[in-house]
Amino acid sequence: MKKSFRYIVLSLVLLLGFNAPKAFAGNEDRSGQAGAAELLINPWAATAGFGNAGMSYVRGVEAMFGNVAGISTTRSLDVNFTHTDWLLGSTIRISAFGLTARVGESSVLGLSLMSFNLGTVEQTTTESPDGGIGTYKPNLLNINLAFAKTFSNSISGGFNLKIINESIANMSAMGVALDAGIQYVTGPFDNIHFGITLKNIGPTLKFSGDGLSIKAYLLPGSSLQNTLIQRVDQFELPTQLSISAAYDFYFAETSRLTVAGNFVSNSFTKDQYVLGLEYGWKEYFIIRAGYTYESGLFKGILDEECMNLNNGLSAGCSVQVPISKKEDAPVFSVDYAFRATSSYNGTHSVGARLNF
């Protein structure tokens, strides 16, 4: 038990001490000043339907977004693919693919990719402000490389290295970020869960490329053109700290009801409070719902106090079926999630998982 507590204390020190000033330096007045906001978007269906409330016990591939310590529960191999229609009607689509694999008695490695399809944009120049000279496609791509380890029956921890790439036709920015998280489980049936995770810690990013240069005549009457390069400012990453807990209620050995909560401290926007409920029948059929609250959420979208297009409500379900009658047979799952929004027609995610 003393050894377990040492792991908890050491993990908390690492999480809270690693660049802690940046994690707590922000407030709502800095909203919109960070870049790479796609790092805050959950691309996975099961946890999205729960409102990200279950970060204390999230498992498998989806833990690479929520709490990387959760990938340590992978039995052998976990594969997940999810497609998201972000703000239905905006034509923005997100594709996410990931896998986790056990590489030792207590160690698991993970890899995931998250790609945005933002459609095409009309290309314009100062000579052709109305376009007609072609189009280009903005690209957002995040790659996650994760490692987690089980330290005891109660404690697991992990790290996640993110590679961030943003680009248009003639400009791009690339950088890295780090997540770290721990999960602690206790109780007579391992039904009490705690988790803490620090996300998106990394150096600033900066755009570069030919799109920042223009040709101009510097001297009146001169026939010689000079290339002018515009300076661009660096931008910080949206650092985030989450502290979560959950409790499982079991009924007649066939049903489970989980109540989960999550506090999210954002460096560049308002803090959030998340509450979620999840009901599972024999773990074959699962329904879930969550609600995310932040100050000003009930204001109109045009009100300066409202800084979030999501109105807080989320819901989803999963169907999980073993592919054979063996006790340790692989499990195939289909997930669906809906996130309500003040504009457009909400966000819809559909995913498929295979857990060996």
Q: 162 in a domain, yes or no? A: yes
Domain range for 248:
2-206+238-355
For residue 20, pLDDT over 60 is answered with no
Residues 37-60, mean pLDDT to the nearest whole number: 95
**Per-residue model confidence (pLDDT) at position 239:** 93
Lowest mean per-residue pLDDT among 14-28, 89-103, 338-352: 14-28
**Pair 237, 34: CB distance under 8 Å:** yes
How confident is the prediction for the chain on average, in pLDDT? 89
Residue 233 lies in a domain: no
Q: How confident is the model at residue 328 (pLDDT cuts 50, 70, 90)?
A: confident
220/49: higher pLDDT: 49
The answer on pLDDT for 6 being more than 80 is no
327 — pLDDT class (breaks 50, 70, 90): confident
Q: Which pLDDT score is estimated for 321? A: 95
Residue 177 has pLDDT above 50, yes or no: yes
Q: Is residue 220 part of a domain?
A: no
Checking if the pLDDT of 221 tops 80, the result is no
Q: How many domains does the chain have?
A: 1
Q: How confident is the model at residue 18 (pLDDT cuts 50, 70, 90)?
A: very low
Q: Is residue 230 part of a domain?
A: no
pLDDT bucket at 220, cuts 50 / 70 / 90: confident
211 belongs to a structural domain: no
In a domain, 126, yes or no: yes
**225 domain residue, yes or no:** no
pTM: 0.89
Q: Cα–Cα distance between 101 and 198 in angstroms, integer?
A: 23
Tracing tokens 């030792």 back to the chain, one arrives at 104
CATH number (domain holding residue 84):
2.40.160.40
Please say if the pLDDT value at position 243 is more than 70: yes
Q: Which of 104-108, 154-158, 323-327 has the lowest mean pLDDT?
A: 323-327
Question: Three-state secondary structure along the chain?
Answer: CHHHHHHHHHHHHHHHHCCHHHHHCCCHHHCCCCCCHHHHCCCCHHHHHCCCCCCCCCCHHHHHCCCHHHHHHCCCEEEEEEEEEECCCCCEEEEEEEEEEECCCCEEEEEEEEEEECCCEECCCCCCCCCCCCEECCEEEEEEEEEEEECCCCEEEEEEEEEEEEECCCCEEEEEEEEEEEEEEECCCCCEEEEEEEEEECCCECCECHHHEEEECCCCCCCCCEEEECCCCCECCCCEEEEEEEEEEEECCCEEEEEEEEEEEECCCCCEEEEEEEEEECCCEEEEEEEEECCCCCCCCCCCCCCCCEEEEEEEEEEEEECCCCCCCCEEEEEEEEEEECCCCCEEEEEEEEEC
In a domain, 259, yes or no: yes
Does residue 114 surpass a pLDDT of 50?
yes
